[in-house]
Amino acid sequence: MTRMDILYEGDLHCRLTHGPSGAIVQTDAPKDNMGKGEAFSPTDLTAVSLGACMLTVMGIHARKRGLELQGAVAQVTKEMIPAPDRRIGAITVSLAMPAGIPPGERAGLEEAGHTCPVRKSLSDRVKVSVSFVYPD
């Protein structure tokens, strides 16, 4: 179990503190929902967490296989649905992989990414699209 604390600072801003490390993340409501868009919104964090989780689980898989994943980049886009209830409707993740991943290792690496805990935790109502791009 990991403790995290959230302080509502006012003006739609929150400060999130990770208990074990003390790391801090700021949030703000997005401009299209009464905020100033001065920081990640909570739904931005959900979307970007998917990309970070995928890369982390893929990194674990790569380490076990003796592969190097350093330099991989995830680009994440999030689309909101305004009605009947405002929610995340779609998340698109494009993963640019580093050179040197052998073709025979790619399927296992991709499967690891698809099974990350954040992906498994998202509702089926959120459309998730993932692509992997290899430079070689």
Query: Phi and psi (nearest 5°) for 109?
Result: -65, -45
pLDDT for 68 equals 94
DSSP three-state, residue 16: strand
Structure tokens at 95: 């993963």
Residue 22: CB partners within 8 Å, gap ≥ 6?
none
Residues 46/88, Cβ–Cβ less than 8 Å: yes
pLDDT for 10 equals 96
> Got the DSSP string for 88-101?
EEEEEEEEEPPTT-
The highest-level CATH class for domain 42-133 is alpha beta
User: What beta strand segments (E) does 38-86 contain?
Assistant: 73-81
Tens of pLDDT along the chain (136 residues) come to 999 999 999 999 999 999 999 999 999 999 999 999 999 999 999 999 999 999 999 999 999 999 999 999 999 999 999 989 999 999 999 999 999 999 999 999 999 999 999 999 999 999 999 999 999 8
User: Which segments of the chain belong to CATH 3.30.300.20?
Assistant: 42-133
Looking at the DSSP bridge assignments, the partners of residue 77 are 92
pLDDT for 136 equals 85
pLDDT for 126 equals 97
